[in-house]
Structure 1
Amino acid sequence: MKSYTIEEINAILKGELIGHTTEKIVGPEELEKAQANHITFIGSSTYAKLWAKSKASAAIVNETLSVEPGDDRALIKVKNADLAMAKILELYNPPKPHFDIDIHPTAVIHASASIGKGCIVGANCYVGKDVVLEKEVVLYPNVCVFDETIIGEATVVWSGTVIRERCIIGSNCIFHTNVSIGADGFGYRPSDDGRGLTKIPQIGNVVIGHYVEIGANSCVDRAKFSATIIGDGCKIDNLVQIAHNSVMGRSCIMAGHSGLAGSVTLGDGVIIGGSASIKDHTTIHSGATVGAGSGVMNNVAAGQTVLGYPAQEAREMLKQWVAMRRLAKK
């Protein structure tokens, strides 16, 4: 078990150490669940009130908060407790699953595939014709990578993920379990005889930038033509749908159960809240935020926050909700 003194932890965070504890810290924990050998985090005045009753011996605290350490307890004051927490979680992060051999004998790898130095391919993986895995790519057991796909260096693909043909994946990406990359986009039209539906071929691909993370059971569909594109640094939660020909800029965030219909464009730094849905052929410009559960029917201006269904500018939507409550009371 890893353990550190409070001085060793502060040497990593480079914060202001107030007070002292003799306890060795074995890990981080929530304020209300922490024991004497834990360090916790206080990012707001709401949680600062809970410090006195917490059993934790140490806490990382936003420097704007007024908190006293108490006996045999220590505080590390930092500019941003959330970012400091990320460093501590990394410090105590347990190792990833171990592989005894780099290429498992049950993996099926086409003779034309290029496997870079330091790659790991787990049990029952499939790597198709002309696939390129650049150096240090990790495919956990039961991953399928189909023909002519390129995966950049140090990308990690967890079990159950399927990456369809001709997709291009950047470096240092993480795809969690059961992600679908490059399945056919949802394209159908009524048939000429009016008795059924005609499938529209989806002949494009998916292009994903560097440092992209995609959560479990999320889907990124291939384009009808050209490419569905996810920009560098985007972070996508579990159970997210990204439809054909959508384009995401850099460092966008999509929370769980949200979805983009076909040909949606997101600028840089767009935030999509949980369960929000975006109509096809809509543009959400850079820095905009879509509140959870909202339905976006029209373009959203840069930096704007929208709420509701259909989504409107946040302050206007809040005024309407207040007015509706007043009407309900009459």
Structure 2
Amino acid sequence: MKSYSIIEINNLLKGELIGYTDHKIEGPEEIKKANSNQITFIGSKKYEKFWADSKASAALVGQNATLEPGTNRALIKVKNVDLAMAQILELYNPPAPVFDTDIHPTAVIHETAIIGEGCKIGANCYVGKDVELGSGVLLYPNVCVFDETTIGSNTVVWSGTVIRERCIIGSHCIFHTNVSIGADGFGYRPSDDGRGLVKIPQIGNVIIGHYVEIGANSCVDRAKFSSTIVGDGCKIDNLVQIAHNSVMGRFCIMAGHSGLAGSVTLGDGVIIGGSASIKDHTTINSGATVGAGSGVMNDVEPGKTVLGYPAQDARDMLKQWVAIRRFMKTQ
């Protein structure tokens, strides 16, 4: 078990140490559950009231915190509590699952595939014709990578993920369990006789940039033609849908259960809240934020925050909700 002194932890964080504890810190925990060998964090004033009764021997706090550490307890004041806690979590992060062999004997790898130096391929993986894996790629058990796909160096693909043919994946990406990349886009039209639906062929691909992370059970569909694109540094939560021909700029965030319909364009740094839905052929410009549960029907200006269903300027929507609440109270 890893353990560190409070001095060692403070040296890592380069914070301001208030008080002292001789307890060895064996890991982080939330303030109500922590024991004397754990460190907690207080990122908001509303949680300060729990410090007195917490069993934690140490806490990360903001620079404006007015708490006292107490006997054999310590506080570490930092500029950004969330980022400091990320460093703590990384410190105690357990190792990833071990590969007993670099390429498991049950993996099926086409003879034309190019496997980079240091790649690891788990049990029951499939690597198709003319696939190229860059150096240090990790495919955990039961991953499928179909024909003519390229994956950049040091990308990690967790079990159950399927990457369809002709996709282009950047380096240092992480795909969590059961991600779908490059499945057919959702394209149907009524038949001429009105008795059925005609499937529209989806002949494009998916291009994913560098340092992209995609959560479990999320889907990025291939384009009808051309490419569905996820830009560098995007972070996508679990259970997210990105439809055909959508284009995401750099460093966008999409929270769980949100979705882009076909041909949506996101600028750089767009934030999409949980369960938000974006209408097809809509553009959300750089720096804009879409609140959780919102439905975007029209283009969103750069830097604007929208909220509601249908989504509109967040301030206007909040005023409407207040007015409705007041009205209901008078009835």
With structure 2 as the length reference, what TM-score do the two structures score? 0.99
Q: Deviations over 1:104-161 (max 9, x none)?
A: 0000000000000000000000000000000000000000000000000000000000
Checking the alignment, whether the CA contact within 8 Å between 1:44 and 1:65 is kept in structure 2 is no
Q: Cα distance, 1:68 vs. partner?
A: 1.1
3-state DSSP of counterpart to 1:49? helix
Structure 2's unaligned 5+ residue stretches are: none
Q: Cα distance, 1:53 vs. partner?
A: 0.9
Give me the whole-angstrom Cα distance separating, in 1, the residues matched to 2:54 and 2:313: 41
Q: CA RMSD in A?
A: 0.6
Give me the whole-angstrom Cα distance separating, in 1, the residues matched to 2:60 and 2:320: 40
Whether 1:50 aligns to 2:79 is no
Structure 1's unaligned 5+ residue stretches are: none
Alignment of 1:77-88 (within 5 A): 77-88=77-88
Partner of 1:121: 121
Q: Deviations over 1:273-330 (max 9, x none)?
A: 0000000000001111100000000001111111100001001001111111122222
Q: Higher mean Cα deviation, 61-70 or 128-137?
A: 61-70
Partner of 2:7: 7
Give me the whole-angstrom Cα distance separating, in 2, the residues matched to 1:64 and 1:154: 40
Give me the whole-angstrom Cα distance separating, in 1, the residues matched to 2:324 and 2:20: 54
Whether 1:262 aligns to 2:262 is yes
Q: Cα distance, 1:221 vs. partner?
A: 0.1
Instruction: Give the letter aligned to residue 135 of structure 1.
Output: S
Give me the whole-angstrom Cα distance separating, in 1, the residues matched to 2:323 and 2:29: 42
3-state DSSP of counterpart to 2:327? helix
Give me the whole-angstrom Cα distance separating, in 1, the residues matched to 2:201 and 2:77: 57
Structure 1 residue ranges (4+ consecutive) displaced by more than 2 angstroms after TM superposition: none
| Identity value in percent | 81
Q: Deviations over 1:59-94 (max 9, x none)?
A: 111112211111100111100010000000000000
Give me the whole-angstrom Cα distance separating, in 2, the residues matched to 1:62 and 1:116: 45
Give me the whole-angstrom Cα distance separating, in 2, the residues matched to 1:70 and 1:287: 43
3-state DSSP of counterpart to 1:23? coil
Whether 1:183 aligns to 2:190 is no
- Matched residue count: 330
Whether 1:28 aligns to 2:28 is yes
Give me the whole-angstrom Cα distance separating, in 1, the residues matched to 2:218 and 2:107: 24
Partner of 1:163: 163
Checking the alignment, whether the CA contact within 8 Å between 1:285 and 1:302 is kept in structure 2 is yes
Q: Deviations over 1:234-278 (max 9, x none)?
A: 000000000000000011100000000000000111110000000
Partner of 1:147: 147
3-state DSSP of counterpart to 1:280? coil
3-state DSSP of counterpart to 1:22? coil
Checking the alignment, whether the CA contact within 8 Å between 1:296 and 1:309 is kept in structure 2 is yes
Give me the whole-angstrom Cα distance separating, in 2, the residues matched to 1:65 and 1:86: 19
Whether 1:198 aligns to 2:198 is yes
Instruction: Give the letter aligned to residue 118 of structure 2.
Output: G
Partner of 2:248: 248
Instruction: Give the letter aligned to residue 230 of structure 2.
Output: I
Instruction: Give the letter aligned to residue 232 of structure 2.
Output: D
Give me the whole-angstrom Cα distance separating, in 2, the residues matched to 1:183 and 1:235: 20
Checking the alignment, whether the CA contact within 8 Å between 1:307 and 1:313 is kept in structure 2 is yes
Alignment of 1:99-114 (within 5 A): 99-114=99-114
Q: Higher mean Cα deviation, 62-71 or 256-265?
A: 62-71
With structure 1 as the length reference, what TM-score do the two structures score? 0.99
3-state DSSP of counterpart to 1:95? coil
3-state DSSP of counterpart to 2:71? coil
Q: Cα distance, 1:194 vs. partner?
A: 1.2
Q: Cα distance, 1:193 vs. partner?
A: 1.4
Give me the whole-angstrom Cα distance separating, in 2, the residues matched to 1:257 and 1:147: 30
Partner of 2:233: 233
